[in-house]
Amino acid sequence: MSITSGLNAQPTPEVIVDETADASTTIDTLRGQIDALDTAIARLVAERAQLSRRIQTARINAGGTRIELGRERAIIDHYRSALGSEGASVGEAVLRACRGAR
Ligand SMILES: C=C(O[C@@H]1C=C(C(=O)O)C=C[C@H]1O)C(=O)O
């Protein structure tokens, strides 16, 4: 299975802004949309972390290691392909968030 096949990415919703509004109203509207996206991103990362920890626990219980670097490299490559050069940093941050104990 490819990395992407389990993802259910949705298109970014259309940005609806009143073109006659003043700048501060436009900024408030767009910031509201950014806040909603950040909430969704955080929820997805938390959901991802739960799945990741289940895999890590299963592997440890089977006598393996918590970390699998080859798989992590593929994930970072995926983020780089999707987001450009800064995508690798995003992928690394996501992996870190999914590794820590909670
Ligand atoms: C979840 C896994 O275990 C670890 C965590 C990973 C992740 O959060 O994506 C990836 C590789 C492993 O270091 C896995 O092997 O898939």
For ligand 1, whether the C-beta of 55 sits within 6 Å is: yes
∠ CA 94-97-100 to the nearest 5 degrees? 145
pLDDT tens profile 37-84: 999 999 999 999 999 999 999 999 999 999 999 999 999 999 999 999
Residue in 1, 5, 56 to alter for ligand 1 test, most ligand atoms within 8 A of Cβ: 56
Beta carbon of 29 within 6 Å of any ligand 1 atom: no
pLDDT above 50 (res 7) = no
Please tell me whether residue 9 adopts helix, strand or coil conformation.
coil
Of 89, 87, 55, whose CA–CA distance to 71 is shortest?
Answer: 55
The per-residue pLDDT of the chain, averaged, comes to: 88
Question: How many Å apart are CA 8 and CA 102, to the nearest integer?
Answer: 26
Architecture of domain 22-99: Up-down Bundle (1.20)
* E strands, 1-102, in order: none
Q: How far apart are CA 19 and CA 42, in angstroms?
A: 30
